[in-house]
């Protein structure tokens, strides 16, 4: 089978993750336990997830001219993602300072760095979008950049999957060009004022949508048909970080491969479940064989 071509336009951050028995209060210094540095940002995560799920994946985004940028490119590329068009912007890379306490509480501070400077797509970037089977975008980079990519995709017949996270104001022309919206309950509330009680409210925004509910599964809605509930695949959950990224990317890959949408949503649920079995974000994103295995077990 020919690999489906997925282009992800979005953010890349270096996640600096420190663990301690308790989080510091303002003004306090706490001695921590462990420290890890891992690539993050929804864009980079979803590009890595798409490659692992079996797509030919390319990432369009911006890294800084600092050491984090060098590491980010190397790590994203080593995960099998084409980073040939990843921009280097003079200045700092996006960074997430993450503190995690022993009881699982966290505090996160994100500085967007180069992500904020990712504006006006180049001809090469637009060509990549036009040539893709599926474009995947989120809202962690300037909305104007997302809109430009989505409109180019729309005009070229590239399918558009928008993971509208984090929730923020978006222009109508952006939503009008989206084929499939993926949101969790917080985001659904922000966009429609409705949650799981009314997943079909999302159809005012896009012709198809998925409302994800963590361990409680997901709703798939499509204009003109009944809403369908897709249960979560049961696993021993360790860390829910990036479940939505694994889900969105797998959905895009399966749809690009020509599966029917409900089948694609079920396969994506297996990807989300596979992701929560391991600690960490990008390092927990599942390979295709793992997704297939969980999917087969749940069928
Ligand atoms: P987000 O990370 O964007 O908030 P969710 O937490 O809703 O996204 O997760 C996306 C999907 O991943 C869910 O709809 C579900 O299919 C799967 N998933 C998430 N958490 C679990 C879990 N604990 N067990 C099984 N599947 C899960």
**Domain harbouring 193, CATH code:** 3.40.1190.20
Total domains present in the chain: 1
28 domain residue, yes or no: no
Give the pLDDT band of residue 238 (cuts 50, 70, 90): confident
pLDDT at 270 over 80: yes
Q: How far is residue 170's CA from residue 139's CA, in Å, rounded to a whole number?
A: 9
Q: Confirm or reject: Cβ of 233 under 6 Å from ligand 1.
A: yes
Q: How far is residue 106's CA from residue 216's CA, in Å, rounded to a whole number?
A: 22
- Output 277 or 154, whichever has higher pLDDT: 154
Give the pLDDT band of residue 1 (cuts 50, 70, 90): low
pTM: 0.96
Ligand 1 atom at shortest distance from the alpha carbon of 210: 14
Which residues lie closer than 8 Å to 233 by C-beta, 6 or more apart?
269, 270, 272, 273, 294, 295, 297, 298
Q: Confirm or reject: Cβ of 272 under 6 Å from ligand 1.
A: yes
Give the pLDDT band of residue 279 (cuts 50, 70, 90): confident
Q: Confirm or reject: Cβ of 230 under 6 Å from ligand 1.
A: no
pLDDT for residue 278: 81
Average pLDDT over residues 80-101: 96
- Residue to substitute in 240, 294, 295 for testing ligand 1 pocket (most ligand atoms within 8 angstroms of CB): 240
Average pLDDT over residues 252-279: 95
Could you report the per-residue pLDDT of 23-73, keeping only the tens digit for each? 999 999 999 999 999 999 999 999 999 999 999 999 999 999 999 999 999
pLDDT for residue 246: 97
Ligand 1 atom at shortest distance from the alpha carbon of 272: 12
Active site residue 197: no
pLDDT for residue 128: 98
180 domain residue, yes or no: yes
Q: How far is residue 39's CA from residue 47's CA, in Å, rounded to a whole number?
A: 11
Q: How far is residue 118's CA from residue 146's CA, in Å, rounded to a whole number?
A: 10
Q: Measured in angstroms, how far is the CA atom of residue 212 from the centroid of ligand 1?
A: 6
Q: Which of 1-10, 32-41, 278-287 has the lowest mean pLDDT?
A: 278-287
Average pLDDT over residues 220-238: 95
Ligand 1 atom at shortest distance from the alpha carbon of 182: 3
Average pLDDT over residues 120-124: 97
**Pick the catalytic residue: 103, 245, 260, 292?**
245
Average pLDDT over residues 100-105: 85
127 domain residue, yes or no: yes
Burial of 64 (0-12, 13-18, 19+ CB in 10 A): buried
pLDDT at 299 over 80: no
pLDDT at 148 over 90: yes
Closest by CA to 44, choosing from 285, 226, 288, 214, is 285
Could you report the per-residue pLDDT of 174-202, keeping only the tens digit for each? 999 999 999 999 999 999 999 999 999 99
54 domain residue, yes or no: yes
Query: Which protein residue's CA is at the shortest distance from atom 21 of ligand 1?
Result: 215
> Domain containing 249: what range?
5-23+33-298
Q: How far is residue 177's CA from residue 255's CA, in Å, rounded to a whole number?
A: 17
């Amino acid at each position: 089978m020919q690999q489906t071509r997925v282009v992800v336009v979005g953010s890349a951050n270096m996640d600096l993750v420190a663990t301690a028995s308790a989080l510091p209060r303002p003004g306090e210094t706490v001695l921590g336990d462990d420290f890890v540095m891992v690539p993050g940002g929804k864009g980079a995560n979803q590009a890595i997830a798409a490659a692992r799920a079996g797509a030919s994946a390319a990432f369009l985004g911006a890294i800084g001219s600092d050491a984090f940028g060098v590491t980010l490119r190397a790590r994203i590329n080593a995960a099998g993602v084409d980073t040939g068009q990843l921009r280097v912007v003079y200045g700092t890379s996006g960074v997430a300072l993450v503190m995690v306490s022993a009881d699982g509480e966290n505090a996160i501070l994100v500085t967007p760095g180069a992500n904020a400077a990712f504006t006006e797509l180049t001809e090469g970037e637009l060509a990549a979008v036009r040539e893709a089977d599926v474009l995947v975008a989120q809202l962690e980079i300037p909305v104007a950049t997302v809109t430009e990519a989505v409109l180019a995709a729309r005009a070229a017949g590239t399918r558009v999957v928008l993971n509208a996270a984090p929730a923020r104001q978006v222009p109508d022309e952006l939503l009008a060009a989206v084929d499939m919206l993926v949101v969790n309950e917080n985001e659904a509330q922000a966009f429609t004022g409705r949650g799981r009680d009314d997943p079909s409210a999302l159809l005012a925004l896009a012709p198809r949508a998925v409302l994800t509910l963590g361990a409680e599964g997901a709703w798939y809605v499509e204009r003109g048909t009944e809403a369908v509930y897709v249960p979560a695949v049961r696993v021993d959950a360790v860390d829910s970080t990036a479940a939505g990224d694994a889900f969105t990317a797998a959905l895009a890959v399966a749809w690009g491969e020509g599966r029917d949408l409900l089948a694609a949503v079920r396969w994506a649920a297996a990807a989300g479940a596979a992701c929560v079995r391991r600690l960490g974000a990008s390092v927990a994103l599942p390979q295709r064989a793992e997704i297939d295995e969980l999917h087969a077990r749940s069928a």
